Structure 1
Amino acid sequence: MMMLICVSFLIASFFAMNIGAGGAAATMGVAYGAGAVRSRKVALWISGVGVFLGATLGGDEVAKTISGEIIPDSMLTPHLAVIILASACTSLFIANRLGLPLSTSEVTVGSVVGAGIALHNVFWSNLVLIVALWILIPVTACGLAWITGRVIAVMKPRFEHFHWWKGKRWLPILLVLTGFLEAVSAGMNNVANAVGPLVGTGMISLSQGILFGGFFVALGSILLGGRVLETNGKRITHLSMVEGCAISGIGAFLVIGASLMGIPLPLTQVTSSAIIGTGMAREGFSWKQKLVIEQMLKVWLVSPLFSLVITYGLVKGGMKDFYSMVAVISVFLATWGSISLMQSVQKEKRSLHEDGGGI
Structure 2
Amino acid sequence: MVSALLVAGVLVAVFVGYNIGGSSTGVAFGPAVGSRIAGKTLAAVLFTAFALLGGWTVGQEVITTMGSEIVAEEFTLAASVVLLFFTGGSLLISNLFGVPASTSMTAVGAIAGLGVANGTLNQGIMFGIVSAWIVAPLVAFWIGVLLGRYIYPYLDARVSFGRIEDGLFDVDRSGAIPRPRLREGATGRDVAGAVLVLIVACYNAFSAGASNTANAVAPLVGSGEIGAGVGTLIAVGAMGLGAFTIARRTLDTVGDGITDLPILAAILVSLVGATIITVLSNLGIPASLAVSMTSCIIGLGWGRASRAVTLADAAGAAIEGEGGPDLSAGALTAAGTQADGSGATDTAAEPAHGPTVGELATGEAPAGQSAASAGTSTGPVPKIGEEEPEALTSEDLFDRAATGRIVTLWLLTPTISAIGSYLVFAFVL
Q: What CA distance in whole angstroms lies between the structure 2 residues aligned with 1:268 and 1:145?
A: 14
Residues 28-47 of structure 1 correspond to what in structure 2 (within 5 A)? 28-33=29-34, 35-47=35-47
> Does 1:140 find its partner at 2:183?
no
In structure 2, the residue matched to 1:191 is 213
In structure 1, the residue matched to 2:283 is 261
In structure 1, the residue matched to 2:108 is 109
Deviation at 1:218, TM superposition (A): 2.0
1:21-64: CA deviations, max 9, x gaps?
Answer: 1234421123333x053522222322222212211222100001
Q: What CA distance in whole angstroms lies between the structure 2 residues aligned with 1:236 and 1:276?
A: 11
Q: For residues 315 and 3 of structure 1, do their structure 2 counterparts lie closer, same or farther at Cα, with a shift above 3 Å needed? A: same
Deviation at 1:137, TM superposition (A): 1.0
Q: Is the 8 A contact 2:51 2:210 kept in 1?
A: yes
Over the matched positions of the two proteins, sequence identity in percent amounts to 29
2:412 to 292, 299, 302: 302
In structure 1, the residue matched to 2:63 is 63
Q: What CA distance in whole angstroms lies between the structure 2 residues aligned with 1:125 and 1:168?
A: 50
Residues 331-350 of structure 1 correspond to what in structure 2 (within 5 A)? none
Q: What CA distance in whole angstroms lies between the structure 2 residues aligned with 1:270 and 1:212?
A: 26
Q: Is the 8 A contact 1:171 1:242 kept in 2?
A: no
Q: What CA distance in whole angstroms lies between the structure 2 residues aligned with 1:141 and 1:197?
A: 29
Q: For residues 117 and 49 of structure 1, do their structure 2 counterparts lie closer, same or farther at Cα, with a shift above 3 Å needed? A: same
Q: Is the 8 A contact 2:27 2:258 kept in 1?
A: no
Q: What CA distance in whole angstroms lies between the structure 1 residues aligned with 2:105 and 2:125?
A: 14
Q: What CA distance in whole angstroms lies between the structure 2 residues aligned with 1:71 and 1:97?
A: 31
Deviation at 1:200, TM superposition (A): 0.7
1:94-142: CA deviations, max 9, x gaps?
Answer: 3323444321111101111111112122111211211121121122112
In structure 2, the residue matched to 1:221 is 243
Deviation at 1:3, TM superposition (A): 1.6
> Does 1:204 find its partner at 2:247?
no
Q: For residues 88 and 239 of structure 1, do their structure 2 counterparts lie closer, same or farther at Cα, with a shift above 3 Å needed? A: closer
Q: For structure 1, list consecutive stretches of 5 or more residues without a partner in the other structure.
A: 320-359
Q: Name the structure with the higher helix share.
A: 1
In structure 2, the residue matched to 1:279 is 301
TM-score (norm 2): 0.67
Q: Which has the higher contact order (CA 8 A, sep 6+)?
A: 1
> Does 1:27 find its partner at 2:28?
yes
Q: What CA distance in whole angstroms lies between the structure 1 residues aligned with 2:216 and 2:233?
A: 12
1:182-220: CA deviations, max 9, x gaps?
Answer: 110100110101110011110011222222222222222
Deviation at 1:159, TM superposition (A): 8.0
Q: What CA distance in whole angstroms lies between the structure 2 residues aligned with 1:127 and 1:247?
A: 28
SS of the residue aligned with 2:64?
A: helix
Q: For residues 41 and 125 of structure 1, do their structure 2 counterparts lie closer, same or farther at Cα, with a shift above 3 Å needed? A: same
In structure 2, the residue matched to 1:355 is none
Q: Is the 8 A contact 2:87 2:106 kept in 1?
A: yes
Residues 57-206 of structure 1 correspond to what in structure 2 (within 5 A)? 57-74=57-74, 76-149=75-148, 150-154=150-154, 157=157, 167-206=189-228
Task: Please tell me the residue identity of whatever aligns with 2:231.
Answer: G
Deviates more, 1:113-122 or 1:274-283: 274-283
TM-score (norm 1): 0.79
Q: For residues 3 and 292 of structure 1, do their structure 2 counterparts lie closer, same or farther at Cα, with a shift above 3 Å needed? A: same
In structure 2, the residue matched to 1:350 is none
Q: Give the number of the structure whose alpha-carbon radius of gyration is greater.
A: 2
Q: For residues 262 and 279 of structure 1, do their structure 2 counterparts lie closer, same or farther at Cα, with a shift above 3 Å needed? A: same
1:286-328: CA deviations, max 9, x gaps?
Answer: 5747556534532332121111122122223423xxxxxxxxx
Task: Please tell me the residue identity of whatever aligns with 1:175.
Answer: V
Q: For structure 2, list consecutive stretches of 5 or more residues without a partner in the other structure.
A: 161-185, 306-326, 330-395
Q: Is the 8 A contact 1:52 1:217 kept in 2?
A: no
Q: What CA distance in whole angstroms lies between the structure 1 residues aligned with 2:255 and 2:87?
A: 27
Q: Is the 8 A contact 1:58 1:188 kept in 2?
A: yes
Q: How many residues align?
A: 314
Q: Is the 8 A contact 1:64 1:262 kept in 2?
A: yes
SS of the residue aligned with 2:139?
A: helix
Q: Is the 8 A contact 1:16 1:191 kept in 2?
A: yes
Q: For residues 242 and 8 of structure 1, do their structure 2 counterparts lie closer, same or farther at Cα, with a shift above 3 Å needed? A: same
SS of the residue aligned with 2:201?
A: helix
Task: Please tell me the residue identity of whatever aligns with 2:232.
Answer: I
In structure 1, the residue matched to 2:424 is 314
Deviation at 1:263, TM superposition (A): 0.9
Q: For residues 125 and 39 of structure 1, do their structure 2 counterparts lie closer, same or farther at Cα, with a shift above 3 Å needed? A: same
Q: Is the 8 A contact 1:13 1:216 kept in 2?
A: yes
In structure 2, the residue matched to 1:332 is none
Q: Is the 8 A contact 2:32 2:197 kept in 1?
A: yes
CA RMSD of aligned residues (A): 2.6
In structure 2, the residue matched to 1:13 is 14
